[in-house]
Copies of this chain bind each other. A is one copy, B any other.
Amino acid sequence: MSKDKALDEYFLIQNYFSNIGSAYLAEHNVETSIGDDASVISSSGNTQQINSLDTSVEDVHFLSSMSPEDIAYRSCAVALSDLAACGARPKWFSIALTIPQVEENWLEGFAKGLHLFSDEYRIPLIGGDTTKGNLSITVQVMGEVDSGKAILRSNAKTDQLIFVSGIIGNAYLGLNELLDSATSTSNTLAYLKPKARIDLGLQLTDIASAAIDISDGTLQDINLICKASDIGAEIYLSKVPTSIPEKSLKLINSGDDYELCFTADEEKYEQILNISKELDIPITVIGKTTSSKELVLYDDKHKRIKLNSGYKHF
C-alpha cells in the first residue's frame, strides 16, 4: 500500500506549492513553511508554534475493513507523529471528517478512537468540519517548542550518525497479516495503533540535528533529510532493526512505522543510549551522513545495493 499511497509529494511541493504567498511569511512570523514535517510560527512569548496537517484516505492510508475506532486513532496518531519529529509538545487537534453517510454505530466507534487518542496524548479536540463524501480524515495538530528548539529536516551536517527508533517494518508485517486474516498481533497493532514518538522527540530537542518520522519508508524519509540538508548518507542494511531475519529493501522501506529517524553528532551517542533506556525505546545507529549528494545503501559485505535514481540529488 505504501508505494501507491505516495504521490511524489516532494515533486509536487517543489513544482507547485513552494512559494505561494511567500512574500507574506515574515509579516506573519512564519519561520519554516512548506517542505518540513510541520510549519514553525513564532509567537509573542518565548515559544514557537508547530502546525501540521495530515490526510488519511480509505483504501490508501488505511484499510476499509478497519474498525472506526482504529481508523480514528490511526489518522490522529500519524498526524501527531509530525510534531514528534519536530520535538514539539502537542497542544490541540482539529478534524475534518468526510463520511459517505451518517451511521450511528460507526460514528460512536470513531468518537471512541478520538477519545482514546485525546486521552493518551492529553490534548483536546478543538474544532473541525464534517462533510459528505468518500471516507477521508484530515487531522490538524498544533504543538509548541521553546523558541529556536524545533528539530528541522534541513539541519543535518556531514559525518553525523543516523539513528532510528523502534523496530522497522512491523507495521508492514502487520498490514500483511491484516490482509490475510483478522487476528490481532503486535504487528497488526503496530499498523492499527501506531505511536507518535512525542516523548522521544522532546528528549531529542538539544541532541538531534535533524529528524523525520518514518511514514513513507526508511530510505525515502532519510533521503528527504539529505535533500533538505544538502548532504548524503550511507545506510547499512544489516543494521536496520527488524523483527524478522530477512532485512529486505522492501521491508525496511515499507513505511507506516512512524518511528523517528534522526541525525546527531557521534559525541551524543551515550546521551542517546540513556534516552533509549529511560524511555524503553530501542534506538539504533543505521548509518552516517556524508558530504556526497547521494543516499547509498550497503549490504552486510559492504557491497553497494543498487537504488533508483531518486536517491541522488544535485
Binding site for B on A (CB under 8 A): 4-9, 12-13, 15-17, 20-25, 28, 30, 33-34, 36, 38-39, 41, 43-45, 47, 51-58, 60-61, 91-92, 94-96, 98-99, 102, 107-108, 110-111, 114-115, 118-119, 122-134, 136, 138, 140, 142
**Contact A126 B30, beta carbon cutoff 8 Å:** yes
Other 18 A-B pairs with CB < 8 A, given A20-B111, A54-B129, A55-B129: A5-B132, A7-B130, A12-B102, A17-B128, A20-B125, A21-B92, A22-B124, A33-B125, A33-B126, A34-B125, A38-B127, A41-B92, A51-B126, A53-B129, A56-B131, A57-B98, A57-B132, A60-B133
This chain: copies in complex: 2
**Contact B47 A118, beta carbon cutoff 8 Å:** no
A138 to B58, CA, bound (A): 16
By a CB distance below 8 angstroms, the chain B residues around A129 are 9, 53-55, 138
CB distance from A20 to the nearest CB of B (A): 4
**Contact A98 B130, beta carbon cutoff 8 Å:** no
**Contact A9 B44, beta carbon cutoff 8 Å:** no
A203 to B135, CA, bound (A): 39
By a CB distance below 8 angstroms, the chain B residues around A47 are 44
A44 contacts which of B20, B43, B111 (Cβ < 8 Å)?
A: B43
A21 contacts which of B15, B24, B54, B124 (Cβ < 8 Å)?
A: B124
Q: List 8 A-B contacts (CB under 8 A).
A: A7-B132, A17-B111, A30-B92, A34-B126, A43-B44, A57-B98, A94-B140, A129-B138
By a CB distance below 8 angstroms, the chain B residues around A9 are 129-130
By a CB distance below 8 angstroms, the chain B residues around A4 are 132
A115 to B33, CA, bound (A): 15
CB distance from A267 to the nearest CB of B (A): 33
Residue of B nearest to A54 (CB): B129
**Contact A55 B8, beta carbon cutoff 8 Å:** no
By a CB distance below 8 angstroms, the chain B residues around A110 are 16
Residue of B nearest to A61 (CB): B131
Question: Given A20-B118, A44-B47, A96–B126 Cβ distance below 8 Å?
Answer: no
Residue of B nearest to A127 (CB): B39
By a CB distance below 8 angstroms, the chain B residues around A91 are 28
**Contact A24 B124, beta carbon cutoff 8 Å:** yes
